[in-house]
Amino acid sequence: MSDSVAVGLVGAGPWAGMVHAPALAAGPSTRLAGVWARRAEASARLAAEHGAPSFARIEELFDACEAVAFSVPPDVQADLAARAARAGKAVLLEKPLAMDLDGARRLAGAIAEAGVVSQMVFTLRYSRAAREFLRRVHAMEPFGGYGSFVSSALSGGPFATPWRLEKGALLDLGPHIVDLLDASLGRVAGVRAHGDPLGWVGLTLEHEGGAVSQASVSMAGAGELPPAHIEVYGRQGHARLDWSQLGDDAFATMVAEFAAVVRGGPAVPLDAAHGLRIQEILASAGTQLRAG
């Protein structure tokens, strides 16, 4: 497609290979303009799988694209995405924005100063099932809810990456649950936290308007685990969103909507400023956990 957005990909790890590169290369609203990664051999291998060039220097990738997607650890993203923004490139960002709140604020500030398009990979929010769920709960006069996300990532597998093994569930799984409860029940105005990021973390969220919700996240599970889910209760009913309902449409929808904004379409609410707000909530929870 002649008007497709040329998107460069930074990163060549499992998530980049499983999701980012295939979605960007599939089009029709985007084309994979190239890959850069710190491991040159991984970059070359992933790029070749999709008929795209692999670049030795990240600046060469920037020169070849209009937008940049990131699939790297949060501390690496915070630095490189700020460089992309200063180069005038739209950015598609993984959650969390950065490894810590200071890094997230610096990145969000660089994006705002550059005035470039940004969009967060809150994958679940782009699925038809989640969007229908949010339409239902907003009509229910919601007053409370609950979310749970338990994985076995700490036991190994492609997502047992160093930063996840160090930081645990709060920074990795927490954004998904907090974002969905925030979207369902109103902006989170306060958080109370207890537990251990490498074990089990419990959060109580206070929402603007008076709703209250609880969230539980853990990466220390084992065996066959139930799918993550959230439940919302309101004066007009009850609704549940189960991750097994989400299908495979989310990433394609996200890429198409990102391309539309790059081409001048209306902005989406899931931008870097939103990602920073979710990370501020998680940082407050993290401070409480460290204080015991």
142 in Cβ contact with 233 (< 8 Å)? yes
28-46: string of b/e by CB count within 10 Å (b at 16+)?
ebbbbbbbbbeeeebbbeb
Q: What is the CATH number of the domain that holds 64?
A: 3.40.50.720
Residues 143 and 110 in one domain: no
Q: Is position 257 within any domain?
A: yes
Note the maximum CA span of the chain: 57
Same domain, 103 and 136: no
Q: What is the pLDDT along the chain (292 residues), one digit of tens a residue?
A: 469 999 999 999 999 999 999 999 998 999 999 999 999 999 999 999 999 999 999 999 999 999 999 999 999 999 999 999 999 999 999 999 999 999 999 999 999 999 999 999 999 999 999 999 999 999 999 999 999 999 999 998 888 899 999 999 999 999 999 999 999 999 999 999 999 999 999 999 999 999 999 999 999 999 999 999 999 999 999 999 999 887 778 999 999 999 999 999 999 899 999 999 999 999 999 999 999 8
Q: Does 64 reside within a domain?
A: yes
Distance CA 9, CA 22 (A): 11
Q: Where are the beta strands (DSSP E) in the chain?
A: 5-10, 30-36, 67-70, 90-93, 118-120, 142-150, 188-195, 201-207, 212-218, 229-234, 237-242
Question: Cα separation of 135 and 150, whole Å?
Answer: 26
Residues 116, 26 share a domain: yes
How many domains is the chain partitioned into structurally?
2
Residues 165 and 117 grouped into a single domain: no
Report pLDDT for 1: 45
> In terms of domains, do 238 and 138 share one?
yes
CATH of the domain at 175: 3.30.360.10
- Do 59 and 195 fall into the same domain? no
Q: Is residue 32 part of a domain?
A: yes
Q: pLDDT value at position 157?
A: 87
Does the residue 162 lie in any domain?
Answer: yes
Identify whether residues 225 and 135 lie together within a single domain.
yes
Asked if the structure places residue 276 within a domain, the reply is no
Element (H, E) at 53: none
* Residue range(s) defining the domain that contains residue 110: 5-123+249-271
Is the domain of 69 the same as that of 143?
Answer: no
| One domain for residues 118 and 11 | yes
Do 82 and 50 share a structural domain? yes
Q: Based on the fold, state whether residues 144 and 195 are members of the same structural domain.
A: yes
Judge whether 291 lies within some domain: no
Is residue 285 assigned to a domain?
A: no
Is 234 inside a domain boundary? yes
In eight-state DSSP terms, residue 268 is P
* Look-up of token digits 């954004």: 175
Handedness of CA 286, 292, 201, 164 (dihedral sign): positive
Whether residues 29 and 111 fall in one domain: yes
